Every structure is written in C-alpha cells, then in structure tokens.
Amino acid sequence: MLFYLISILVLLADQAAKWMVRLNMQLGETIPFWNPYVQFTYYENSGAAFSSFQGFGKYFSIVAAVFVVAIFYYRRKGVLRGPLLEAASGFLVGGAIGNAIDRVIFHQVTDFLVFGEDGGIMNLADLAINAGGILIVIHLIIDQVKSSTAKRRRVKGSGTGQA
C-alpha cells in the first residue's frame, strides 16, 4: 500500500507543480524563493539529466516504461519487500512516470527547481527519483550491517563450548 500511496502522491504533486509553472511563468523566467539556496526558473529540457542528450527525450520515456514494468515485476516476485524498499520503489515509479508523461505529451520535461548558485535545474519527479535512490542505498547499508552482525554472531557462537 505504501508503494502505491507514494507513487500516486509523487505523480500528482509533480504534475501539479509543472502545470503551475507552465501556467504562471514565462520560459526562462526566474523567481527567487529562498536566495541563494532555492529559486524557481522555468526551463524545458528535451534531453536527460544535466541537459544531456538534448532532443532524445522521447527515448527516455521508453526507458521509463521499461523501468516501471521492471519495478512491478520485482515487486510481484517479492524482491522489493519492506517499508524502505516500498517507499523507494514508490518514489522511483512516481518520478519516472511523472517525467515520462511530460516527454510523451510535450516532448520535453518541465524543470523549475534550482538549488544553490551553481546547482542544476530539476523538478519534483527528479527529486523523487533521487529520494528513491537514497532510500535504496540506506536499505543496502542496513542490510549489510545486519548481515555482518549475524555473521559475527554465528562465528562467535560456533567457537564456544568446543574442546
């Protein structure tokens, strides 16, 4: 349930924010929000992250569709279980679908969030994808710590009581 809730919330928030930007800002316009940390700048990106591969954005919608199908496949197989992976996959799927919708409808992605003076420009879907990636890394670290702790307990336990 957490997966679906996060996916839908991310998708709705992302599309609503992009709609508000397209409706209320001129392309290239900048609105200071929390200078110098955050500002809104309306930009249309027909490529990928960091404005790479300009003009090839439509292909990334195919990649997003394959990615979302893969997430659903691994969820069905039971590989993505637990609250951390549920949340992570929800953020990833919501973000991927949010940007894919832009690519299919507008042939580009609406970006508007600039962090710092030299920061890149992104949108809520990009933030969600980053959050999902961070949660996966946190899950992997926790899993590794648990595995190492269990292994030490087994090794320590097997060495006692033997002559």
In the prediction, which pLDDT does 120 show? 83
Domain total of the chain: 1
Domain assignment of residue 160, yes or no = no
Domain assignment of residue 159, yes or no = no
Q: pTM for the complete prediction?
A: 0.84
In the prediction, which pLDDT does 2 show? 94
Two tokens at 149?
């702790």
Domain assignment of residue 162, yes or no = no
Output the DSSP codes for 69-121: HHHHHHHHTT-S-SHHHHHHHHHHHHHHHHHHHHHHHHSSEEEEEEESSS--E
Domain assignment of residue 78, yes or no = yes
Domain assignment of residue 155, yes or no = no
Crossing angle for the helix pair 2-24 and 124-158, to the nearest 10 degrees:
150
Question: Looking at the annotation, which residues are catalytic?
Answer: 111, 126
Domain assignment of residue 161, yes or no = no
- Taking only the tens place, the pLDDT of each residue in 5-21 is 999 999 999 999 999 99
Q: Are 56 and 65 in contact (CB under 8 A)?
A: no
Two tokens at 138?
């946190």
Judge whether residue 53 has pLDDT over 70. no
Two tokens at 22?
């397209």
Alpha carbons 31 and 38: distance in angstroms, whole number: 9
Residues of the domain holding 96: 2-146
Domain assignment of residue 153, yes or no = no
Two tokens at 1?
């349930």
Judge whether residue 73 has pLDDT over 80. yes
Domain assignment of residue 107, yes or no = yes
